[in-house]
Amino acid sequence: MCLAVPMEVKSIDGLVAEVEIGGVKNQVRLDIIDEQPRPGDYVIVHAGFAIRKLDKDEALETLKLFEKGLGLELT
């Protein structure tokens, strides 16, 4: 029940967003997300609610740190 997964926002209508994961579309509520997402953003969805926007810059930053520290090409 705790599964919370990143899903891509397709469209937004008021407090409801249409999201997609692996070709499957779903509707999620936006009542408690702290940053308004836009289509193309990824949101973490839990129990039918978007709980956080995924920060792409932070993801990139983390991978860059690994690249630097471990000599891998990731980005």
Partner 1 sequence: MNLLNKFSNPELCKKLLTLLKNELIRPFRFMEVCGTHTVAIFRSGLRSLFPENLIHVSGPGCPVCVTHEREVAAFLELAQKDVVLATFGDLMRVPGPNKQTLKDLQAQGANIKIVYSPFDALQLALDTPDRDVIFIGIGFETTAPTVAATLNVARQQNIKNFFVFCLHKLVPPALKALLSGGVKIDGFLLPGHVSAIIGRGPYEFLSKDYNLPATIGGFEPVDILQAIYELVKMFNLNQPAVVNCYSRVVKDEGNQKALLMLKRVFEPCSALWRGLGEIPDSGLQIRSEFEAFDARKSFNLEDLPQVPPLKGCKCGDVLKGLLRPDECPLFNKQCTPESPVGPCMVSTEGSCAAYYKYLV
Which parts of this chain interact with partner 1 (CB under 8 A)?
A: 1-4, 6, 8, 29, 31-34, 42, 44, 46-49, 51-52, 54-56, 58-63, 66, 70, 72, 74-75
C-alpha to C-alpha distance for 11 and 43, rounded to whole angstroms: 12
User: SS3 string of 11-48?
Assistant: EEECCEEEEEECCEEEEEECCCCCCCCCCCCEEEEECC
Nearest distance in Å: CB 38, partner 1:
15
Nearest distance in Å: CB 17, partner 1:
13
In residues, how long is the chain?
75
- Select 11 or 75, whichever has its Cβ closest to partner 1: 75
